[in-house]
A and B are shown apart, each in its own frame.
Chain A
């Protein structure tokens, strides 16, 4: 089945050590999103790519970066993780065309722990 895949499901890194989370999709959607979900909170949008155009949310810390080398893949880079960055990171995709944006499809997330 076409889907949004996030690997790994669980990631552990050390305080201050750069980490990269990955997301791939087989839906051929032109929009890809990254959300952060802290414990017992709702998901919060960090940024999204519309095709190759990067769109950052105003309150997303500079510590968070993203890359989209092609339609299928998108990466979330955390340059110097702090303890407050421990969270579930969710990737989502959607198709935007002809003045209409379809519902988003989510992966099952990567749970990031900081030691």
Chain B
């Protein structure tokens, strides 16, 4: 799996959009970009994933650059409950059951 790089921490004001960047310059053509988050004392929670098109679900939007070397997770209206460590992970999803390789992630702190 390709290595991903994220800033160690970010702050965002409650109610504003939180934009979390991720670099994955060595990602291969068959690797997806996944985002998980881990709220304190809980297990990681799946947020969203994509291959090359932008994706949106009820939790967030994922914007992937055309060259696929970076992406941004967008939480459109951050709340205090969004304070968590966010992990960007590249992973092949074409079958098989390899586990996730977590990096250090970004600790997002939502400020009231």
SS of A interface (majority): strand
- B46: chain A residues at CB < 8 Å are 103-105
Docked pose: A99 CA to B98 CA in angstroms: 13
Q: Does A94 contact B (CB under 8 A)?
A: yes
Q: Size range of the interface on A? A: 20 to 34
Docked pose: A94 CA to B93 CA in angstroms: 11
The interface on chain B, measured as residues whose beta carbon lies within 8 A of the other chain's beta carbons, has a size of: 23
Which residues on B are within 8 Å of A, measured CB to CB? 34, 38, 41-46, 49, 87, 93-105
Q: Taking A45-B100, A92-B100, A96-B96 as given, write out 20 further A-B residue pairs in contact, using a Cβ cutoff of 8 Å, ordered by the A residue number.
A: A42-B102, A43-B102, A45-B101, A48-B99, A57-B99, A92-B43, A92-B99, A94-B97, A98-B95, A99-B95, A100-B93, A100-B94, A101-B93, A101-B95, A101-B97, A101-B98, A105-B46, A106-B43, A106-B44, A109-B42
